[in-house]
């Protein structure tokens, strides 16, 4: 029996990616999509790949809860999720909620859904916080070396401007970004706090926005508590992510241009200092897919007992 699912905040980039993924999922039926700006317009007119008759609705929290969907995905800006969560918990507490914002990533009452690291705790959960895009790439890049890190890990990040959302700002203005690299939130970024908390190790994160639309890259600088050989490092990463179709470990440094439109993370470019105690690792991902919509679908699949990769075109994990 197919499960009904609604999306709140479907106008944004991530909402659109999730709609396209759900259009090909055999286990979910898209029951409603809520967007104040697009209310009344057919969904298929805005998102290629969706062929149903559904139209956008402008639904307040009570109306969303009243839909009685099996699952609701909240694709809202930070700070906007709580009224919807409260309404659903009062009217339809068994509804699965996936929040794509940062609002519940620090709440121990919610499952933190980064399947490659937290999968064993996610089956059957009903309150799921989707990790941040940068936070996903950083954690996957750092996790294999946890326990052997000496001091904070430094992560230099560059993302396409889709990561700044659809509300106009300097960080998603193509004219201001042209021939530019824009630093922002260089201390205390929410993803810095998120990764430090989840890994139990301090991370220093330096985010930037670039002129491209989608895809992000992280260059992680790791000081190590003992000397390592390069082969030992590569073997550790390959062993840690063996059998993970959405994490690909490669020798060369991955390019952000090669990850756009793909559903996996690439980790590579391993470089060691002469003394073997400083490691540099590069990770790339599509911030709208594995950094958001693809990961949300992984979490939905786990919550409802589907195969984790149902509806995710895994073949795109192979570079052409």
User: What strands lie across the sheet with 111-112, from one edge to the other?
Assistant: 28-34, 3-8, 71-74, 96-99, 127-129, 111-112
The residues near 187 (Cβ < 8 Å, ≥ 6 apart) are: none
The residues near 242 (Cβ < 8 Å, ≥ 6 apart) are: none
What is the Rg, in whole angstroms, of the alpha carbon atoms belonging to the chain? Answer: 19
CA gap 135, 191 in Å, rounded: 5
Contact present, 124 and 306 (Cβ < 8 Å): no
Helix H or strand E encompassing 288:
none
DSSP 51-72: -S--B-B---HHHHHHT--SEE
CA gap 291, 284 in Å, rounded: 10
- 209, β-bridge pairs: 159, 182
Residue 7's alpha-carbon distances to 38, 124, 292, in angstroms, are 13, 20, 14
CA gap 1, 59 in Å, rounded: 26
DSSP state of 42: B
Catalytic residues: 133
What is the crossing angle of helices 133-142 and 190-199, to 10°? 40
DSSP 107-119: -TTSEE--HHHHG
Among left, alpha and beta (phi > 0; psi -120 to 50; other), residue 242 is: beta
- Residues for the chain: how many in total? 320
């Amino acid at each position: 029996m197919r499960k009904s699912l609604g999306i709140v905040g479907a106008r944004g980039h991530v909402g659109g990616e999730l709609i396209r993924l759900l259009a090909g999922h055999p286990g979910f039926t898209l029951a409603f999509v809520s967007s104040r700006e697009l209310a009344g317009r057919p969904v298929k007119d805005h998102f290629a790949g969706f062929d149903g008759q559904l139209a956008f609705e402008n639904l307040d929290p009570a109306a969303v809860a009243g839909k009685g969907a099996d699952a609701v995905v909240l694709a809202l800006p930070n700070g906007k999720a709580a009224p919807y969560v409260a309404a659903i918990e009062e009217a339809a507490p068994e509804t699965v909620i996936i929040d794509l914002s940062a609002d519940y990533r620090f709440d121990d009452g919610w499952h933190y859904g980064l399947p490659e690291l937290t999968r064993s705790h996610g089956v059957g959960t009903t309150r799921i916080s989707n990790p941040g895009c940068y936070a996903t790439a950083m954690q996957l890049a750092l996790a294999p070396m946890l326990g052997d890190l000496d001091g904070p890990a430094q992560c230099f990040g560059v993302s396409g401007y889709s990561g700044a959302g659809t509300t106009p700002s300097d960080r998603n203005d193509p004219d201001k970004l042209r021939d530019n690299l824009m630093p922002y939130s260089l201390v205390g970024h929410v993803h810095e706090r998120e990764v430090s908390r989840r890994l139990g190790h301090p991370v220093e994160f330096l985010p930037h926005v670039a002129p491209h639309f989608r895809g992000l890259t992280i260059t992680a600088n790791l000081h190590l508590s003992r000397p390592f050989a390069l082969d030992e490092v590569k073997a550790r990463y390959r062993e840690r992510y063996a059998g993970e179709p959405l994490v690909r470990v490669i020798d060369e440094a991955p390019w952000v241009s090669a990850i756009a439109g793909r559903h996996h993370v690439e980790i590579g470019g391993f470089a060691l200092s002469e003394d073997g105690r400083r490691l540099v690792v590069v990770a790339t991902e599509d911030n709208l897919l594995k950094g958001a919509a693809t990961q949300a679908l992984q979490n939905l699949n786990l919550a409802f007992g589907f195969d984790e990769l149902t509806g995710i075109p895994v073949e795109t994990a192979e570079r052409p």
